[in-house]
């Protein structure tokens, strides 16, 4: 259906593809993987025709429709979220807009003189709307938006009033409603809570077209894709299977290539040693010449290209008292909305609580109460003896000095640390080479989040409170963080929508809801087994 044949592409000095080829068949669900900057977005843009290859060919079968969701959603304002999503469905959106304008005109007493014309036009437009299945489309648009976590009020409100993350969901909803023959989704799992993520998973599984997507969520990827295309060093390599299978196959291929490389190196060393030993002897001249010719003809095996994932030895956290934090009779309201009433909750040393709950249930509020960022309206919150608290949330990025470089900021925070140690720390969180010389003010939101996380873990507190710590982390960095926190001796209270992270690190679950809170012994995996659901908002 879509074929890339012998693609070569260079962006400035960077060579992105060298004679790369791949085929996307009808109905396939493909995960696109590769290190940051490998060319995943460039590949999407080649398929959509936004960019052209320098050499080679991209061919798309006649009549195939393509929907592309990227992180750059552009400006949105002046329309409701529903109208914005319906825009993706083509001409019906213009008809819907006219219908709405005519309905407003019919209710306007100032236009009474033109009412006959308005009513006549309304009838014509309504017929056209019905022909285009507009009423069903409105329902489908609302269904998609509800799946992505929108309330009715948000659906009908001006999309311009929404935050960047919610606008991303609107842009994603537009592609989903369009149901093209091929969907290209660049990080669709970003900015989604766990309920929306699971809904999207079900939607994409049921989608019958071709799907190509990138995602930093391995669980999400594993449940949807049946094929992986890897971009690495300019080439495209196809693996049949999910992400877990790809990881196994890639490791196996690397191992085999390393063994082949070592065997060839041993053979070459032996041949070179023979040539060096006998090259001056006339009696061995023929043999020496024969071996020299043999070496010239050998295809050299390259050692495997290993992806650098820096592992960092984080220092052990100091020991706290057994009672880390206790909340007694805590009340918290925002305006007329009660978030907590009479909340009792205690965290003890070495417990790792993950907090679950639908949007607006009070997950982040609980973390703010515990860290003292928000004061309770009533009740008491007591932090235990020798507790050194570290809080990671989106507002933590405000701590960065915009004029300092990444390295300068780390160095000023830890003046006693060695340069090598700080560079290794920066490398763990994706700041390698010249990246450490970037000024903090030019960093993206994701880079700022990674830098703040690195800073917090370099001299770790014994009580970590983390609000969505895995946002903006790629799969390799996320895994590094999981490995570091597995060995962490302190206590944790965290919110995350990443099920791999939840399962790997939690040993307690606190479910918060408007009806109250419920504590579960055992981690996220046990929670899923006990409740039969992966998130509280999915209960029927």
Q: Residue 540: is its pLDDT beyond 50?
A: no
Contact 31, 227 (CB under 8 A): yes
Chain-centre distance of CA 173, in angstroms?
17
Which residues are 382's β-sheet partners?
326
Which of 57-71, 254-268, 295-309, 451-465 comes out lowest in average pLDDT? 295-309
pLDDT the model gives residue 430: 81
Contact 25, 181 (CB under 8 A): no
- 307 phi and psi angles, rounded to 5 deg: -80, 125
Q: Residue 309: is its pLDDT beyond 70?
A: no
pLDDT band at 539 (very low <50, low <70, confident <90, very high): low
The span from the CA of 68 to the CA of 48, in Å, is 8
Which residues are 405's β-sheet partners?
439
**β-pairing, 389-392 with 463-467?**
parallel
pLDDT the model gives residue 22: 95
Q: What is the three-state SS of 188-254? A: CCCCCCHHHHHHHHHHHHHCCCEEEEECCCHHHHHHHCCEEEEEECCEEEEEECCHHHHHHHHHHHH
Q: Tens of pLDDT along 17-53?
A: 999 999 999 999 999 998 777 889 899 999 999 999 9
pLDDT the model gives residue 11: 84
Number of H helices, E strands in the chain: 18, 18
Q: Residue 443: is its pLDDT beyond 80?
A: yes
pLDDT the model gives residue 354: 97
Sign of CA dihedral 72, 76, 80, 85: negative
Percent of the chain with pLDDT over 90: 52
Rounded to a whole number of angstroms, the CA Rg of the chain reads 29
Contact 364, 467 (CB under 8 A): yes
What length does the chain have?
540
Q: Which tokens hold the place of 190?
A: 């970003």
DSSP 400-454: S-TTSBHHHHHHHH-TTS-HHHHHHHHHHTT--GGGGGSBGGG--HHHHHHHHHH
Q: What is the pTM for the complete model shown?
A: 0.80
């Amino acid at each position: 259906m879509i074929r890339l044949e012998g693609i070569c592409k260079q962006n400035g000095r960077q060579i992105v593809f060298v004679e790369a080829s791949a085929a996307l068949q009808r109905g396939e669900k493909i995960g696109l993987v590769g290190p940051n900057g490998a060319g995943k977005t460039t590949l999407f843009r080649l398929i959509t025709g936004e960019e052209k290859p320098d050499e080679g060919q991209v061919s798309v079968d006649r009549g195939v429709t393509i929907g592309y969701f990227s992180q750059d959603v552009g400006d949105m304002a002046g329309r409701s979220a529903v109208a914005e999503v319906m825009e993706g469905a083509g001409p019906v959106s213009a008809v819907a807009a006219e219908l709405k304008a005519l309905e407003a005109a019919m209710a306007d007493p100032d236009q009474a003189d033109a009412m006959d014309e308005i009513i006549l036009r309304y009838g014509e437009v309504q017929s056209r709307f019905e022909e285009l299945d507009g009423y069903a489309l409105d329902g489908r648009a609302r269904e998609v938006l509800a799946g992505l976590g929108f309330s009715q009020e948000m659906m009908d409100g001006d999309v311009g009033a929404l935050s960047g993350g919610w606008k991303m969901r609107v842009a994603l909803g537009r592609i989903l409603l369009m149901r093209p023959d091929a969907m290209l989704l660049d990080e669709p799992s970003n900015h989604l809570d766990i309920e929306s993520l699971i809904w999207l998973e079900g939607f994409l599984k049921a989608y019958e077209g071709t799907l190509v997507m990138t995602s930093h969520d391995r669980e999400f990827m594993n449940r949807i894709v049946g094929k992986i295309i890897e971009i690495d060093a300019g080439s495209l390599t196809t693996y049949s299977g999910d992400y877990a299978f790809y990881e196994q196959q890639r490791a196996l291929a690397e191992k085999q290539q390393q063994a082949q490389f070592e065997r060839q190196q041993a053979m070459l060393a032996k041949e070179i040693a023979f040539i060096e030993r006998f090259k001056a002897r006339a009696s061995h001249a023929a043999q020496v010449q024969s071996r020299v010719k043999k070496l010239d003809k050998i295809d050299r095996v390259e050692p495997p290209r290993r992806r650098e994932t820096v592992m960092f030895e984080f220092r052990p956290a100091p020991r706290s008292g057994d009672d880390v934090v206790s909340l007694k009779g805590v009340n918290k309201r925002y305006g007329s909305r009660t978030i907590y009433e009479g909340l009792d909750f205690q965290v003890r040393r070495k417990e790792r609580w993950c907090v679950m709950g639908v949007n607006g249930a009070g997950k982040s509020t609980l973390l703010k109460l515990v860290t003292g960022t928000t004061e309770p309206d009533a009740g008491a919150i007591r932090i235990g003896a020798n507790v050194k608290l570290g809080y990671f949330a989106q507002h933590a990025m405000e701590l960065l000095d915009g004029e300092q470089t990444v390295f300068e900021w780390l160095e000023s925070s830890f003046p006693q640390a060695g340069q090598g140690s700080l560079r290794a720390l920066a490398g763990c969180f994706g700041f390698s080479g010249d990246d450490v010389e970037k000024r903090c003010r030019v960093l993206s939101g994701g880079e700022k989040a990674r830098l703040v996380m690195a800073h917090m873990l370099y001299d770790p507190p014994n009580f970590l409170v983390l609000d969505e710590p895995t946002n903006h982390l790629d799969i390799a960095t996320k895994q590094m963080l999981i490995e570091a926190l597995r060995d962490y001796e302190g206590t944790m209270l965290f919110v995350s929508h990443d099920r791999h992270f939840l399962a790997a690190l939690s040993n307690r679950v606190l479910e918060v809801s408007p009806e109250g809170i419920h504590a579960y012994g055992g981690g996220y995996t046990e929670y899923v087994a006990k409740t039969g659901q992966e998130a509280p908002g999915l209960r029927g």
